[in-house]
Amino acid sequence: APPYARCSSLSEFAQRLQSARHVIVLLGAGASVSAGIPDFRSPGTGLYDNLAKYNLPFPEAVFDLDFFVQNPWPFYQLSRELWPGGYSPTAAHHFVKLLHDRQQLLRCYTQNIDSLEALAGLPKDKVVAAHGNFDSAHVVGRDVEVPIELLREATLRGEDATRELNEQYGGLCKPSITFFGEALPKRFGELAPEDFELCDLLVVMGTSLKVQPFACLATFPSVGVPRLLINRDRVGPFHFVSDGDLPIDLVTDVFFQGDCDDGVRELARLAGMLPALES
């Protein structure tokens, strides 16, 4: 027998959740879809399939630093739609907050730039906004802060206003969200090694795990630490019991295939946490 207990079903995971002290949650865009915010890569509905009006060389160019330096206007235009406000946290976010209230949450690593974790009530120190957010803005390539409200107003007023703001600040003003070609916030690298040393349970929700280095966080927990994927599609480096590639006693990964909100509700129900989640 392995030196750890198997965890091969959602009910086994729920049981382990009841005693976990250092839960880490990894979030992607799927966790915010039920709030009305599209994800990136779902065919048809995802953001990357709906950028034709921007005439981009490739969809990800809208978040690409080299492209932004050549032509910032597509991102500025899109940012008017992405800017937080008017969206409410989902059951998935409330579940993470519940883990925090129960003193079981070590950290929530999110790729999302919608700040719905904060809106659900998670304190700043519990969240790693791995791809940044709209809390602040700076000048590209320079250590100069730009009041985020000024940038928001300029993008709303139009291309000339953004050009004027950039001239005023001596460079391209950009919300502090992480573009392709940029390093992740320092916090990510500072906290991840220690956090994953302590991690005794991992929940991964609503992400395609296609973007590095975030995606590799899913491989960081120690051997034997239960990992749950809640996602519409099967993704990532997991070995589920249905794969049949491991003897059942070695399985510690669980897949709930479906929507994040349904997954957290089912997990909460099995763990006796549903009344708290719904209150």
Binding site for ligand OAD (CB under 6 A): 28-30, 33-34, 39-42, 46, 60, 63, 111, 131, 178, 206-208, 210-211, 231-233, 235, 259-260
Q: Which two tokens stand for residue 175?
A: 């919300």
Q: How far is the CB of 257 from ligand OAD (least distance, A)?
A: 9
* Nearer CB in complex with ligand OAD: 129/154: 129
Question: What's the closest the beta carbon of residue 207 comes to ligand OAD, in angstroms?
Answer: 3
At closest approach, how far in Å is the CB of 5 from ligand OAD?
A: 27
CA–CA separation, 92 and 265 (whole Å):
8
Kindly state the greatest CA–CA separation across the chain. Answer: 67
DSSP string over 203-253: EEES----STTGGGGGG-SPTT--EEEEESS--SS--BGGG--S-GGG--E
For residue 55, CA distances in Å to 49, 61, 86, 238 come to 12, 10, 28, 37
Nearer to ligand OAD, 92 or 106 (CB): 92
Residues 27, 237: Cα–Cα separation, whole Å:
16
CB atoms within 10 A of CB 103: 7
- 199 in helix, strand or coil? coil
Q: Tell me whether residue 161 or residue 211 sits nearer to ligand OAD (CB atom).
A: 211
Shortest gap between Cβ of 46 and ligand OAD (angstroms)?
5
Nearest-approach distance from CB 157 to ligand OAD, in angstroms = 24
What residues are labeled active site? 131
Which CB sits closer to ligand OAD, 196 or 214?
214
Which secondary-structure segment (H or E) carries 65? Answer: helix 65-70
Q: Is the Cβ of residue 119 or residue 211 nearer to ligand OAD in the bound state?
A: 211
CA distance 72 to 49: 20
Q: What is the rounded CA–CA span in Å between residue 167 and residue 173?
A: 9
